[in-house]
Structure 1
Amino acid sequence: MLLASLKQVEFGYTDVPCLEQADIDIYTGEFVALTGPNGASKTTLLKLMLGLLRPWKGTAFLSAKGPEGNRLVTGYVPQHIAAFNGGFPSTIAEFVLSGRFVRGSWLRRLREEDHRLTQEALKQVGMWEHRHRKIGELSGGQKQRICIARALAQEPDLLILDEPTTGMDHTSRLAFYAFLRQQATLHNRAIVMVTHSLSEVSAYLDRIISLERKEDGEWKCCTTTSCRGHFVPAGSLPY
């Protein structure tokens, strides 16, 4: 099922476009990497895909419904989590648990399943033992992890991650990629991750989308490379 797409999208922040001829299709059940040099408008591309920015030209589509026919749930973890307000009064557990309200009314009573999924998400990012700490006490890397946990607790149909492995060591990164592969395969989630570490992650991917510079200096259409010849079979995952 097609969840998001850009067709011949052009966009810029001044009167000069920074992105041209952007074409993307994102389907359920696939793990896709978005890559390109620094300054290649990767974050801009994500925001256009999510409807946070409106293109100058072309069309941006975001499905209203997920694969099961319910309202589409999107989890988005931006890049600069270290700037998170240090005075935020919530504990880690409360912050991640709040992600469960995207699956219903803010006035509904939390269920046992909500607490279970919150616990699972925090364990998956290695932050369960810190669940009673205040967010303002955390390092930038820890804030990154709890924002990933909150997005996972939402059970998203579409998960967007902007350089989520910043601050992780090599072993942790590989385990995280394997976990995302499992999320796409077993839960039919679409996952789009901005990364510079293609040599590490390519074995887990379905596709790579790269931004390339035109001769006049602008960033042009996304080139999609298939990874299906070497991605890891679901049965070989360590999770």
Structure 2
Amino acid sequence: MRIARMAPGFLKEREICVMLLASLEQVTFGYGDVPNLVDANVEIFSGEFVAITGPNGASKSTMLKLLLGLLQPWRGKVFMSDRTGEGKKLVVGFVSQQIAAFNGGFPSTILEFVRSGRYTHGSWLRRMRPEDHALTEQALRQVGMWDLRHRKIGELSGGQKQRICVARALAQESDLLILDEPTTGMDQESRHHFYDLMNQQVKEYGRTVVMVTHGLSEVQHYLDRIIELERKEDGGWKCCTTTSCSGHFVPVG
């Protein structure tokens, strides 16, 4: 799908300027001799809610790591903007799928862990400001974990660990939220609350959410786009089938 461009890196729809934040262009990557992703093309724009979906083993997590620069492609181009449309430093919040790595001996409390996200806005040596404490509390309340704030992380269930990692990303005031199956371990009520929360981040705060999910039917009506990974006839995964959901962007040509 092509998007009407108004200026390099920008689009406009109904007088709203939208910026290209990240992209993969003809990217091929693999972990061995055989490529996993083949000729992947992805564009992520500011202010949209995007789901990445596909079967197990379809390199969805790999795609996120390529976008984040955690992996280097065999060939092709990866772009991640370092600035927002307002010229501020782009803040990226990443919630990994490997949340269970927090073991019973992890020393931090929930409150300390989420509050540490505020250091992205200054030196690790600076004192916490009232704003930092307020945003930490707000983030924990948004994910329903404020009452447990003094618990040790290692004592939490998998779903609770997912929630506090999301809370830390929210406390960072992330411009771009990249979430790898963030609802794993959550019950249905918690999942629906989470989708409502992410939709609010996009619609009210202008943030961008990119989420790997298997629960497409639950979240689909919130989405601006779906990026699907499909297997190529000669092996490897191709990207992508891009489906317009809510008509957030207007295709041309």
**TM-score scaled by length of structure 2:** 0.88
Counterpart check, 1:102 vs 2:91: no
What is the alpha-carbon root mean square deviation over aligned residues? 1.2
Counterpart-to-counterpart distance in 1, 2:197 and 2:159: 18
Counterpart-to-counterpart distance in 2, 1:12 and 1:168: 31
Counterpart check, 1:14 vs 2:32: yes
Shift of 1:88: 1.9
| Pairing partner for 1:215 from 210, 214, 233 | 233
Matches within 5 A, 1:67-216: 67-216=85-234
Identify unmatched segments of 5+ residues in structure 2: 1-18, 249-253
Task: Tell me if structure 2 keeps the 8 A contact 1:67–1:157.
Answer: no
Task: Tell me if structure 1 keeps the 8 A contact 2:109–2:152.
Answer: yes
What's the secondary structure of 1:5's corresponding residue?
A: strand
Using the aligned pairs only, state the percent identity: 71
What's the secondary structure of 2:198's corresponding residue?
A: helix
What's the secondary structure of 1:222's corresponding residue?
A: strand
Counterpart check, 1:47 vs 2:59: no
Shift of 1:111: 0.7
Counterpart-to-counterpart distance in 2, 1:187 and 1:28: 11
Counterpart-to-counterpart distance in 1, 2:187 and 2:46: 29
Counterpart-to-counterpart distance in 1, 2:93 and 2:108: 20
Shift of 1:229: 4.9
Shift of 1:62: 0.5
What's the secondary structure of 2:230's corresponding residue?
A: coil
**TM-score scaled by length of structure 1:** 0.93
Q: Which whole-Å deviations, capped at 9, do the CAs of 1:46-82 have from their partners, x for residues lacking one?
A: 0000000011111000001123212111000011211
The list of structure 1 runs, each at least 4 consecutive aligned residues, that deviate by more than 2 angstroms after superposition, is none
Counterpart check, 1:29 vs 2:84: no
Question: 1:46 corresponds to which letter in structure 2?
Answer: L
Counterpart-to-counterpart distance in 2, 1:211 and 1:200: 19
Identify unmatched segments of 5+ residues in structure 1: 231-239
Task: Tell me if structure 1 keeps the 8 A contact 2:227–2:239.
Answer: no
Q: State the match for 2:75 in structure 1.
A: 57
Counterpart-to-counterpart distance in 2, 1:104 and 1:67: 21
Counterpart-to-counterpart distance in 1, 2:83 and 2:124: 20
Shift of 1:28: 0.9
Task: Tell me if structure 2 keeps the 8 A contact 1:89–1:134.
Answer: yes
Greater strand percent: which structure? 2
What's the secondary structure of 1:60's corresponding residue?
A: strand
Shift of 1:223: 1.4
What's the secondary structure of 2:218's corresponding residue?
A: helix
Instruction: Count matched residues.
Output: 230
Moved more, 132-141 or 97-106: 132-141
Task: Tell me if structure 2 keeps the 8 A contact 1:3–1:63.
Answer: yes
Counterpart-to-counterpart distance in 2, 1:131 and 1:85: 17
